Copies of this chain bind each other. A is one copy, B any other.
């Protein structure tokens, strides 16, 4: 387990978007843009259980997360780690992330439709690297 530096913590604590990469059934990478927060040294994402990323992480929990400040994209951070998945029946985390990024409650809750069965993806870092664009 790796501790995040103050600089890395600030990137995750800001309203920056992260790219979460998982592994497809055939082993190739799959990457998408996500809301994110930090819980001590863990990186958290909120997702409906039905998402491809959740199936990928249940099969192979190895993940990579990249984050950068859009106002200063030349310095970025990669976290490589192992994901565990926790149930979040009330969608508490997605609502918290919605408040963080939009200032209001998660709008999806107002939509009709089946309960999306929210889960929390918790990534425990085993490697953290800071790098510069194009290097």
Contacts and interface: CB of A to CB of B under 8 A. Distances in A.
A117 interface: no
User: What's the number of copies of this chain in the assembled complex?
Assistant: 2
A73 interface: yes
B68 A17 contact: yes
Contact of A33 (B23, B29, B68, B97): B68
A110 interface: no
A29 B32 contact: no
Interface residues of A, number: 36
A28 B23 contact: yes
A31 B78 contact: yes
Contacts of A63: 28-29
A62 interface: yes
Interface string A26-67: 011111111100000000001100010000000010111110
- Top 8 nearest A-B pairs by Cβ distance? A70-B70, A21-B29, A28-B62, A29-B64, A33-B76, A31-B64, A19-B19, A31-B66
